[in-house]
Amino acid sequence: MARQKNEWLDWIKALIIAGLLAFIVRMFFFAPIVVDGPSMMPTLLDEDHMIVNKFSYTIGEPERFDIVVFHATANKDYIKRVIGLPGETVAVKNDTLYINDKPIDEPFLNEKKQQLVENQRYTFDFTMEDIPGDNQRIPEDHVLVLGDNRGNSTDSRSQSLGLISYDQIVGKTGLRYWPLNQIGIVN
């Protein structure tokens, strides 16, 4: 009888430890998120399931073209692509991204841009003056984010968002685990 009681206690301890480890991993290292809406198409689709690496920015800072998850409101997280970094100016003119007045290729948009008809634009022109917050350059500890579906994305160009502070960023995402035929690393 005592042996059976010890076995039960061992199982209970193991389950408590496993639950505690899962809680720690979820709170501090990795978390699942589901893409909600078309703003990251064609890279990410509505209902794609991703893993967010919460740890990545505790040892580093966001880099250009990282796909990040951030707190857009108290109750809503968004997924967007980092375009502008602290100290930079960002503009789009004639469908070309300019960082500090130098053209930058966005290879993840090339296929969609090639499908456009003459005189059609994938990204409407904008400059830093059009970004909420009245900044000439992106301030320290902030990034400018855009959705890959530039015509249908609530991002840094929106009055409700503007530039995103590092404090708002949950983490970097790049691992899709659902749907199964799309499982893998997203660039």
| CATH number, domain with residue 93 | 2.10.109.10
- pLDDT computed for residue 25 by the predictor: 61
Residue type for position 62: P
> Cα–Cα distances in Å, from 123 out to 38, 107, 126, 150?
15, 14, 9, 5
Per the domain annotation, does 24 fall within a domain? no
76 within a domain of the structure (yes/no)? yes
Q: Which of 164, 170, 174, 184 is nearest to 55 (CA)?
A: 170
Coil, helix or strand for 115? coil
Q: Beta-carbon neighbour count of residue 186 at 10 Å?
A: 15
In which residue are the tokens 């990040």 written?
68
* Per-residue pLDDT, 181: 87
**pLDDT tens digits in sequence order for the chain, 187 residues long:** 666 767 777 777 777 777 776 666 656 567 888 899 999 988 998 999 998 988 888 888 999 999 999 999 888 999 999 999 999 999 999 889 999 999 999 998 888 888 777 777 888 889 999 999 888 999 999 999 999 999 889 999 998 899 999 999 999 998 898 888 888 888 7
Determine, yes or no, domain membership for 18. no
Name the pTM for this structure: 0.83
- Using a 10 angstrom Cβ sphere, with 0-12 exposed, 13-18 middle and 19 or more buried, the burial of residue 120 is exposed
Give a yes or no: residue 23 inside a domain.
Answer: no
Please, are residues 39 and 152 in contact by the beta-carbon 8 Å criterion? yes
Q: Which helix (H) or strand (E) holds 145?
A: strand 142-146
Please report where in the chains the tokens 């789009």 appear, as a residue. Answer: 92
Residue 147: the pLDDT is 93
Our count of domains for the chain comes to 1
Active site residues: 39, 80
pLDDT of residue 73: 87
Q: What is the pLDDT of residue 27?
A: 60
Give the model's pLDDT for residue 62. 94
149 lies in a domain? yes
pLDDT of residue 26: 59
* pLDDT value of residue 92: 93
Q: How far apart are CA 169 and CA 82, in angstroms?
A: 11
* Cβ atoms 68, 52 nearer than 8 A: no
Supply the range of the domain harboring residue 39.
31-185
Find out whether 30 and 52 touch, Cβ atoms under 8 Å: yes
